[in-house]
Amino acid sequence: MNSTAATASAPPRSAPATQSQTVMQILGAVAFAHLLNDLVQAMLPSIYPMLKAEFGLSFTQVGLITLTFQCTASLLQPWIGLYTDRRPMPYLLPAGMVATFIGVLMMAVAHSFPALLVSAALIGVGSSTFHPEASRVARTASGGRFGFAQSLFQVGGNVGSALGPVLAAAIIIGRGQGNIGWFAVLVGVAFAVLVYVSRWHSAHLASLPRKKAVVAQSPLPKARVYGALAVLALLVFSKYIYMSSLSSYYTFYLIDKFGVSVSSAQMYLFLFLAAVAAGTFMGGPIGDRIGRKRVIWMSILGAAPFTLALPYVDLFWTAVLTVVIGFVISSAFSAIVVFAQELMPGKVGMIAGIFFGLMFGVSGIGAAAMGHIADVAGIAYVYQLCSYLPLLGILTVLLPHIEQHKR
């Protein structure tokens, strides 16, 4: 961590000399920044049990916190991506971290439910500025290995999401709300790394020859493209509503059904999120080799047998199944993003913003809805209801074979 931050103070003076060296330096830096960004975000649902007890919140209010974060994290992303497709803004990356920094510090001192909502909103604003531009940088530094680059970028975020509950349990749970402020240190490190990344990206853009803009053409008719994007959006819906049920309420489910402690529940959540990170990393490179449509098939529909069994097993098999579910279902997102970018070439930032925004928006709406369902029917019913969502993976049959159209 220190070496990365130190590197940030000495950015390259010009565009990198060697492509292979530059690719891995920048991809590594962007993935590390994604790790820190999503680690801070994962801290939020990890401390829900503490906030619920300290502020006397209902499950509906817990869901509203997630909804507030996810909405601010989603609504701005497509517009930021669209704008920066036309007018690149490399320094938007560290600027977004400032909003996250303020949100974390505010959450550490919040004394009311509205203040929690505002702090969650600020963290979401930071996320909305990070993901489209960082995804663009990853693609720029990919050297043509788009699936690998997107997976490496994504796995950084997933590793951060897995570490978030562990650090929250070690630093915050049982020690008080004020300890949330320690996470601002991690935001500061992310800021330094992103300054380095932004300077590289700015130098890279300046080194490109000026040429007349060429409108990139999709390999498919416009109606077919929009239909495929609609299918991809529905697949993201099925994937992230289910993922939200685990990331937001899994600890409550374990405590309610099996009587485990908060700290033990956090460890089970860590296992699930670690499996998500592993599955994300595998999805992109496999998609580069065998085709992204096949990865989407196997990821979403392939998770259905395990999600359908989950509500009816004991604690041991609950842990096993959630690890399998996390690994299988998470491999789809990188493939979905790259698939969509290939459907609309030249719209890298906009597509990244739409799908990252859709991911956050769907997760937020789902979390709020599931919080209300949990209040009315119980937390166990949430998992019975959501277990059918991966069956929507059958819609993958409607996606075109892009590789065939390219040939």
d(CA 85, CA 335): 21
pTM: 0.65
Predicted pLDDT at 360: 64
Higher pLDDT, 232 or 366: 232
Give the per-residue pLDDT at 405: 44
Q: pLDDT tens for residues 148-157?
A: 887 888 888 8
> pLDDT tens-digit profile of 320-335?
999 999 999 888 877 8
Identify the burial level of 245 via C-beta atoms within 10 angstroms of its C-beta, where 0-12 means exposed, 13-18 middle and 19 or more buried.
buried
Left, alpha or beta for 391 (phi > 0: left; psi -120 to 50: alpha)? Answer: alpha
For residue 66, the SS3 value is: helix
Beta strand spans in 150-211 (E): none
Whether 8 and 196 have beta carbons less than 8 Å apart is answered as yes
- Three-state SS sequence of 73-139: HHHCHHHHHHHHHHCCCCCHHHHHHHHHHHHHHHHHHCCCHHHHHHHHHHHHHHHHHHHHHHHHHHH
The two three-digit tokens of residue 196, written as one number: 């380095």
Mean pLDDT of 70-86: 76
Q: Mind listing the pLDDT tens digit for each residue in 17-47?
A: 344 445 788 899 999 999 999 899 888 888 8
Q: What is the largest CA-CA distance in the chain?
A: 64
Which residue has tokens 């801070």? 40
Dist CA 273 CA 218 (whole Å): 35
Q: Select from 123, 389, 145 the least CA-distant residue to 245.
A: 389
| Contact (CB, 8 A) for 291 and 283 | no
Classify residue 397 by its DSSP letter: G
91-122 residue pLDDT tens? 888 988 999 999 999 999 988 999 999 999 99
